[in-house]
Structure formats: structure tokens, C-alpha cells
């Protein structure tokens, strides 16, 4: 037996080793259902290995942190400086783009306005101002080379801004704002159809003058251009009535808030050629001016037949009727009809600068030149032309008795 | 790649210093437990098995090989909580015994013989492991020849380089 064991020593040891392990496996498998505690050999093995693993992980993290926190960050300061410069550059570009976007919105609004009302306008950039409260004017970057002429209307999409002053240079023109105290615009209240003259005040406010104190003007009423002064087209928004108070003499003092923000003008439109696009105007080429006026004045009662056919014609207040450019000359009946409406006042802006318009000679007329609430009573402005922008409206002449309205 | 049959007197027997004999298996087990956490493909290798083969063919002593295989296998089992202790131990005991027995009869100090020996004992290891796990522990394992052959091939490739590195720790008797 001993000889066999010594002869097959290796196999014997192998058998013993395998038997021991199989036995150990069998014991473990049998006890696997029980809640046996973790075997010490596992604890020792884990305790022997995990410190090295922890050390390697710690070393790994240390190397990683060293790399990410130092070596990888080489040049970061320079990159940071470059990024800051880039941020500053981008901020500047963003501000510029914002301004461009805002400008685009404004120009878009202007363009829309232009397409709706006026065909020939010239967009201009506001490049300066007078810088004085005594003279409220601005400078635009368009001049005579661009077709700018004195007394052309300057507007925005919101409303009237002013007019071009004399002394237009090649590429620069000055604009007299409507809130300048030397300015004057013929205006009409949108609802009540009362007419007056819009003036600036020394404080920069805009006041509608020459409206009789016995008229009812409500706060918030819109004020439009009256037209007929050959500067501003009819119907442009001027502002809104913000305060109504008794004024000097028999007139109201109506304070108006300009529709255009005169303190923040950046882009404006200069009306270089006025073309009214109203359908009646377009279709009126075959109508006489008198017919047009008759259609627009339904509130004027029929005039009684003059007792004396040889009576003199109604006064024209020193204004002569001129055909507008590109239009047919009005017929004599149109002239007489225009005179009846009282639109002969036709306060030009320049003339208003010099002397206030006289009160309308309403007693002379058969009825007031307005029809309350009837917009059709608005006269055809381009049919009435002052003698010149500097023309002074003359005092109404004594009227013959036949012109008095029937009692 | 000659595998020459030599007499026992012609075969050189190596021994290893105690630190090398202890640390090399520990490092192998440690790397096998740690590296696959970072490199998942490394799980296909079996460094403790290669160490068992290396020590077996180098010492050419079946008892030493069996004991080395048993020890390394049990250590592997200890770090494998899902398995009972002894599965790797039995398989590595077989491999240690076979490698040392083979190393005592043939010269396996060249690359070709190491490559073939590693392939052979890798398959033997898997067969024994599969048998024990399925027959004794009742663990359902899927056997795939392609996977086992591929794994054996890769382990053999790795073994060629690793054995050359471990040769530095050999000491002539």
C-alpha cells in the first residue's frame, strides 16, 4: 500500500485536493439555503484585494484630476481672455443687430404706412437736432440732391412730424417740427370736424387754436391734417386732444399730444409728391370738381335761388383757385362751391407762421363748413390753393344780403 | 516550433523567490478582478489560469503545481461571490497538475510550445470548470465551442508575452 502511494504520490495528492474541494463545494451547496455568514476566506480575499483597488482608483482619480485641473487647463487663461473678447465683440454685435432690428421694424411700419397713403416718399434718417428748446427742429440726411425741397411734409408712420425748412443743402435738410412755436398746421378734429390751426408752444406743447369756444371738443378726439395747404396731405394723424380749456378771446385752448413721438425720431418720411389714392379721387377723373364737392357736402342745404341773378359771386377771401399739378383745372362752379365751404382760409403753414388765420366767416355762409359726424363734409383740399405759401388771408368782404341763410 | 521530448535530467527545473511566488498570483488575481471594470473585453482573459500554467511548467513539480493551482483557484473563488468556493479551485488544480506533469516531460520554454500548451490547458480548464459548475453546483452554463476556442486562442497569445515577462522571475535550481 505504501508502495502504491509513493508510486502514485502525485495522483494521490491530486485526488485528495480534488476530494477536499468537492467536499467543500458539497457543504457549501447544501448550506446555500441557510443564512450562512460570509466565509472568512472571502472576507480575507476581499480585504487583501480592495486596498489595492482603492489605491488604484485613488491614483486614477488623482491623475485624472491632475490632468483635468492642470495640464488640460494649460492655455485656458489665454483662451478665457480670447473668449471674453469674443463675448464683448458679440455683445457689441448684438446691440448693433438689435438696433438694426428695431430700425427694420420702424422702417417696415413706415413702408406699410407709405403703401397705404402716399406713393412718393423719401425715407430719411434723423442725424441731428437744433439742440435748443427755442427752435425745435431736426436735421435729416437727405437734401436737394435727393429731391428734398422746402415746405415738403415730413411724417412718420404715427403721424405728422413737420415740414422741410428753407436752406436745403445737397445732402442735409432741416425739418421744423410741429411743436415749434413758429410752426402752424391746418388741422381738423376727426369727429367734430372743427377746424383750427395747430401750433407749437414755447414749452414744446402742441395747441390747436382758432376753434370757437362755443364748440364742444372732447378729450381724446383725434386731430388730423386738414389739407389744402399744399404741404400736408389731408387726413394724416396729427395727434390726440388731451386737454380743452378756454383760451384767449373767443377761442378754445386745445392741447394736443402729437401722434409722432417728436422726442424720439430716428427715421422719417419726406413726402416728395402727394398722390391721394382714395377711390373717389381715382374715379373722379371723369367728374367735375363741382360734382365732387357737391357729393361731399350733403349738409349744406340747397341755396335759395338768388333774387338777383346779377348779384356778385361769393367772395374767395383773396385766394385764387389753382389747379393742382397733374390734375384738371377746376371749373368755375368748383371754385364757387369751394368758396361756399369756407375752405378759402386754407392756412398754409408758412402763412400761419406769420399771422394767425382769422376766424372763419361763418355768418356769411349758409351753414357751417362742417357737418358734425359727417366726414364727407371735408373739403377737397387740393382744389383750393392760396396765392402763395406766404399769402395772408384777407378779411372777409361784406357779403350781400342774398348770401344770408334763410331765416 | 519544436516540442521536444526530453529526459527528466535534461529538463531544467526553476524555482521562484517567495515574494514572486506570492505576489505574482496576487497581482494576477487582482488584475483579473479590477481591469475588466475599466476594460470590459479583458474579461475574456484568465490571468490566474496563465499564472498557474506558467508556474506549473516552470517548476515541473506536479504537487507544487496542484497546490499553486488550488490556491490561486480558491482565491479566485473568494473574489467571485456568486460562486461557491472550489469551482475555480478544482479546475486550476487540474490545470496545475497537468501543466507541471507536461512540463516535466517536454520542453515548453519556447514560444510555440507555450502557445499550444496554453490553448490546451485553457480548454481543459473550461471543461473542468463547466463540469464542476454544472454537475456539482448545478449552475446552468452555456457552452460554446467558438467562444471557448477564441478565448483559449487569445489567452495563448497573451501567455506568450506574459510568460516572457515572468521568465525574469525564474531562478535556476
Q: How far apart are CA B32 and CA B49, in angstroms?
A: 10
Structure-block grid coordinates of residue B44:
475574456
Which of the four pLDDT bands, split at 50, 70 and 90, describes residue B97? very high
- Within 8 A of B104 by CB-CB distance, chain A residues are none
Cβ contacts (< 8 Å) between B85 and chain A: which residues? 24-25, 28, 39, 41-42
pLDDT greater at residue A86 or residue A405: A86
Q: Is B138 in contact with A29 (Cβ distance < 8 A)?
A: yes
User: Picking from A115-129, A307-321, A336-350, B145-159, which range would have the lowest pLDDT averaged per residue?
Assistant: A336-350
Least confident window among A150-159, B17-26, B36-45, B119-128? B36-45
Residue A39 has pLDDT above 60, yes or no: yes
In a domain, A387, yes or no: yes
Contact A59/B at CB under 8 A: no
For residue A45, the chain B residue with the least C-alpha distance is: B78
Using the structure block, give the residue that is written with the C-alpha cell 480575499.
A45
* Listed ranges A30-34, A399-403, B49-53; the one with the highest mean pLDDT: B49-53
Average pLDDT of B131-136?
84
**Mutant choice from B28, B89, B95 vs A, greatest count of A C-beta within 10 A:** B89
Same-domain pairing of A348 and A390: yes
CA B86 to mean position of chain CA atoms: 16
If one compares B149 and A42, the residue with the highest pLDDT of the two is B149
The pLDDT assigned to A162 comes to 92
Residue of A nearest to B97 (CA): A14
pLDDT-based confidence at residue A119 (cuts at 50, 70, 90): low
Q: Which residue has the higher pLDDT, B111 or A291?
A: B111
The answer to whether residue A42 is domain-embedded is no
Which residue bears the cell 481543459? B124
Contact between B101 and A18 using a beta-carbon 8 Å cutoff? no
Say if residue A262 is in the same domain as residue A347: no
- Rounded distance between C-alpha atoms, residue B27 and residue A46, angstroms: 13
Residue A2 φ then ψ, to 5°: -65, -35
**Is there a domain that residue B150 lies in?**
yes
Cell numbers for A229: 395747404
* Residue B8 covered by a domain: no
Cell numbers for B125, please give them: 480548464
CA distance A56 to chain B (A): 9
Domain membership of residue B129 as a residue range: 16-172
Whether residue A154 sits in one domain with residue A260: yes
In a domain, A337, yes or no: yes
Q: Please indicate, yes or no, whether residues A124 and A256 belong to a single structural domain of this protein.
A: yes
Residues 6 or more apart in contact with residue A190 via CB below 8 angstroms: A221, A222, A223, A224
Q: Does residue A275 surpass a pLDDT of 60?
A: no
- SS3 call for A211: strand
| Greater model confidence, A407 or A191 | A191
Please report the pLDDT score of residue A397 as a whole number: 41
Same domain, A267 and A287: no
Give A246's DSSP letter. Answer: E
Distance, CA of B117 to CA of B54 (rounded, Å): 10
pLDDT of A24 above 80: yes
Q: How many domains does chain B have?
A: 1
CA trace torsion A367, A373, A374, A377 (10° rounding): 50
Task: Give the end of a domain, one of A273, A290, A322.
Answer: A273
Q: Is A296 in the same domain as A269?
A: no
Rounded to an integer, what distance in angstroms lies between the CA atom of residue B60 and that of residue B63? Answer: 9
The whole domain housing A383 covers: 279-304+312-403
How many other β-carbons are positioned within 10 Å of the β-carbon of residue A42?
15
Res. B122: pLDDT tops 90: yes
Do A130 and A243 sit in the same domain of this protein?
Answer: yes
Q: How far apart are CA B83 and CA A166, in angstroms?
A: 105
Q: How many CB atoms lie within 10 A of CB A6?
A: 9
Average pLDDT over residues A294-300: 50
pLDDT at position A353 over 60: no
Distance, in Å, from the CA atom of A155 to the CA atom of B9, rounded to the nearest integer, reads 118
d(C-alpha A256, C-alpha A313), whole Å: 38
Residues from chain B that touch A6, judged by Cβ atoms under 8 A, are none
Average the pLDDT over each of A97-101, A288-292, A390-394 and give the range with the smallest value. Answer: A390-394
Query: Residue A37 above 70 pLDDT?
Result: no
**Closest-approach residue (CA) in chain A for B139:** A29
The predicted pLDDT at position B50 comes to 94
Looking at per-residue pLDDT, the higher value among B65 and A6 belongs to B65
Task: State pTM to two decimals.
Answer: 0.44
Cα(A215)–Cα(A208) distance, rounded to whole angstroms?
13
Average pLDDT over residues B94-114: 86
pLDDT digits (tens, 9 = 90+) for A121-159: 888 888 877 666 566 888 888 888 888 988 889 988 888
CATH of the domain at A237: 2.40.10.340
More confident of the two residues B135 and B97 = B97
Whether A21 is covered by a domain: the verdict is no
Distance between CA atoms of A368 and A359, rounded to whole angstroms? 12
Q: Is residue A63 part of a domain?
A: no
B32, pLDDT greater than 90: no
How does B32-51 read in b/e, with b if 16+ C-beta sit within 10 Å? bbbbeeeeeeeeebbbbbbb
The whole-chain average pLDDT of chain A stands at: 68
Q: What is the pLDDT of residue A297?
A: 52
The rounded distance, in Å, linking the Cα atoms of A337 and A297 is 9
Of B34, B62, B85, the CB nearest to A39: B85
Report the percentage of chain B scoring pLDDT > 70: 92
Q: Is residue A39 within 8 angstroms of chain B, CB to CB?
A: yes
Q: What is the pLDDT of residue A31?
A: 67
What number of C-beta contacts closer than 8 Å exist between A and B? 78
Query: Which of A27, A49, A51 should be substituted to probe chain B, the one whose Cβ sees the most B Cβ atoms within 10 Å?
Result: A49
pLDDT band at A374; cut points 50, 70, 90 = very low
Q: Answer yes or no: do A198 and A295 share one domain.
A: no
Cα separation, B98 vs B56, in Å, equals 8
What part of A 149-178 touches B (C-beta under 8 Å)?
none
- State which residue of chain A sits closest to B35, comparing Cα positions: A53
Task: Say if B97 is an interface residue toward chain A (CB within 8 Å).
Answer: yes
Residue A140 falls inside a structural domain: yes
Distance in angstroms (rounded) separating the CA atoms of residues A211 and A247: 9
B65 assigned to some structural domain: yes
Cα torsion through B82, B84, B87, B88, rounded to 10: 60
Query: What is the mean pLDDT of the segment spanning A11-17?
Result: 85
Least confident of A146-150, A333-337, B33-37, B126-130: A333-337
Helices (H), chain B: 18-38, 47-59, 62-78, 87-105, 111-135, 145-166
* The pLDDT of residue B10: 58
User: Cell numbers at residue A89, please?
Assistant: 465683440
What single string gives the DSSP state of each residue in A295-316?
HH-TTSPPPPPPS-TTPPPPP-
CATH number of residue B67's parent domain? 1.10.1760
Strands (E), A229-266: 237-246, 251-258
Cβ–Cβ below 8 Å for A25 and B84: yes
Bridge partners of residue A184, in order along the sequence: A199
Assess whether A288 and A222 both reside in one domain. no
Q: How far apart are CA B56 and CA B46, in angstroms?
A: 16
DSSP A13-27: HHHHHHHHHHHHHHH
Is B90 an interface residue toward A (CB < 8 Å)?
yes
- Residues A355 and A284 reside in one and the same domain: yes
Task: Provide the sign of the torsion angle of the four alpha carbons A237, A241, A245, A246, taken in this order.
Answer: positive
Comparing A77-91, A201-215, A276-290, A340-354, the range with the smallest average pLDDT is: A340-354
pLDDT band for position A360 (cuts 50, 70, 90): very low
How far off is chain B from A73, nearest CA to CA, in Å? Answer: 25
Measure B16 CA to nearest chain A CA, in Å: 21
Q: What does residue A209 show for φ and ψ, rounded to 5 degrees?
A: -110, 175
Query: Which residue of A lies nearest to B133 if distances are taken between CA atoms?
Result: A25
Cα–Cα distance measured from residue B105 to residue B54, given in angstroms and rounded to the nearest whole number: 15
| Nearest residue to A362 via CA among A302, A393, A400, A405 | A405
Q: How many domains does chain A have?
A: 2
CB atoms near residue B127 (< 10 Å): 14
A64 pLDDT band, cuts 50/70/90, is confident
- Contact status of A26 with chain B (Cβ, < 8 Å): yes
- Do A260 and A300 belong to one domain? no
Cα–Cα dist A179/A200, whole Å: 4
**Cβ contact A10–B62 (<8 Å):** yes
* pLDDT at residue A346 tops 70: no
| A215 lies in the same domain as A347 | no
Cross-chain Cβ contact A21/B101 below 8 Å: no
Amino acid at each position: 500500500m505504501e508502495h502504491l502511494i509513493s508510486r502514485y504520490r502525485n495522483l494521490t495528492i491530486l485526488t485528495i485536493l480534488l476530494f477536499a474541494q468537492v467536499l467543500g463545494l458539497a457543504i457549501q451547496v447544501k448550506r446555500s439555503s441557510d443564512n450562512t455568514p460570509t466565509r472568512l476566506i472571502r472576507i480575507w480575499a476581499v480585504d487583501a484585494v480592495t486596498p489595492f483597488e482603492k489605491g488604484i482608483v485613488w491614483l486614477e482619480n488623482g491623475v485624472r484630476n491632475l490632468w483635468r485641473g492642470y495640464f488640460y487647463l494649460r492655455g485656458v487663461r489665454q483662451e478665457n481672455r480670447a473668449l471674453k473678447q469674443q463675448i464683448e465683440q458679440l455683445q457689441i454685435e448684438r446691440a448693433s443687430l438689435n438696433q438694426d432690428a428695431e430700425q427694420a421694424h420702424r422702417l417696415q411700419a413706415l413702408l406699410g404706412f407709405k403703401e397705404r397713403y402716399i406713393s412718393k416718399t423719401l425715407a430719411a434718417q434723423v442725424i441731428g437736432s437744433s439742440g435748443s428748446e427755442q427752435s425745435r427742429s431736426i436735421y435729416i440726411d437727405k437734401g436737394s440732391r435727393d429731391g428734398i425741397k422746402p415746405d415738403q411734409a415730413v411724417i412718420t408712420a404715427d403721424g405728422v412730424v413737420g415740414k422741410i425748412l428753407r436752406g436745403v443743402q445737397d445732402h442735409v435738410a432741416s425739418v421744423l417740427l410741429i411743436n415749434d412755436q413758429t410752426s402752424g398746421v391746418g388741422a381738423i378734429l376727426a369727429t367734430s370736424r372743427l377746424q383750427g390751426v395747430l401750433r407749437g408752444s414755447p414749452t414744446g406743447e402742441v395747441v390747436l387754436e382758432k376753434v370757437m369756444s362755443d364748440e364742444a371738443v372732447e378729450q381724446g378726439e383725434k386731430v388730423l391734417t386738414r389739407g389744402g395747404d399744399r404741404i400736408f396731405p389731408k387726413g394724416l394723424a396729427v395727434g390726440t386732444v388731451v386737454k380743452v380749456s378756454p383760451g384767449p378771446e373767443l377761442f378754445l385752448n386745445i392741447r394736443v399730444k402729437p401722434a409722432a413721438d417728436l422726442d424720439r425720431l430716428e427715421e422719417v418720411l419726406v413726402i416728395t409728391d402727394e398722390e391721394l389714392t382714395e377711390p373717389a379721387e381715382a374715379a373722379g377723373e371723369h367728374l367735375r370738381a363741382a360734382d365732387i364737392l357737391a357729393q361731399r357736402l350733403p349738409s349744406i342745404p340747397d341755396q335759395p335761388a338768388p333774387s338777383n341773378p346779377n348779384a356778385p359771386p361769393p367772395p374767395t377771401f383773396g385766394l385764387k383757385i389753382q389747379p393742382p399739378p397733374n390734375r384738371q383745372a377746376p371749373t368755375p362752379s368748383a371754385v364757387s362751391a369751394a368758396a361756399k365751404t369756407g375752405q378759402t382760409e386754407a392756412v398754409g403753414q408758412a402763412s400761419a407762421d406769420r399771422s394767425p388765420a382769422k376766424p372763419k366767416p361763418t355768418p356769411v355762409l349758409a351753414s357751417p363748413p362742417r357737418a358734425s359726424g359727417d366726414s364727407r363734409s371735408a373739403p377737397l383740399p387740393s382744389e383750393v390753393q392760396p396765392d402763395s405759401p406766404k399769402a395772408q388771408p384777407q378779411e372777409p368782404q361784406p357779403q350781400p344780403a342774398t348770401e344770408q341763410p334763410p331765416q | 516550433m519544436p516540442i521536444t521530448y526530453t529526459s527528466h535530467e535534461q529538463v531544467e527545473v526553476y524555482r521562484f523567490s517567495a515574494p514572486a511566488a506570492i505576489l505574482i498570483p496576487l497581482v494576477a488575481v487582482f488584475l483579473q478582478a479590477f481591469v475588466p471594470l475599466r476594460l470590459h473585453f479583458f474579461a475574456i482573459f484568465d490571468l490566474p489560469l496563465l499564472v498557474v500554467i506558467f508556474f506549473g511548467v516552470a517548476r515541473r513539480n506536479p504537487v507544487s503545481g496542484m497546490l499553486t493551482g488550488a490556491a490561486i483557484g480558491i482565491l479566485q473563488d473568494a473574489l467571485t461571490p456568486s460562486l461557491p468556493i472550489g469551482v475555480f479551485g478544482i479546475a486550476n488544480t487540474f490545470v496545475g497538475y497537468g501543466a507541471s506533469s507536461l512540463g516535466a516531460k517536454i520542453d515548453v520554454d519556447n514560444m510555440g510550445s507555450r502557445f499550444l500548451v496554453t490553448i490546451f490547458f485553457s480548454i481543459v480548464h473550461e471543461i473542468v470548470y463547466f463540469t464542476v459548475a454544472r454537475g456539482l453546483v448545478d449552475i446552468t452554463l452555456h457552452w460554446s465551442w467558438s467562444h471557448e476556442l477564441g478565448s483559449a486562442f487569445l489567452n495563448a497569445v497573451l501567455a506568450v508575452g506574459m510568460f516572457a515577462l515572468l521568465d525574469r522571475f525564474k531562478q535556476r535550481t
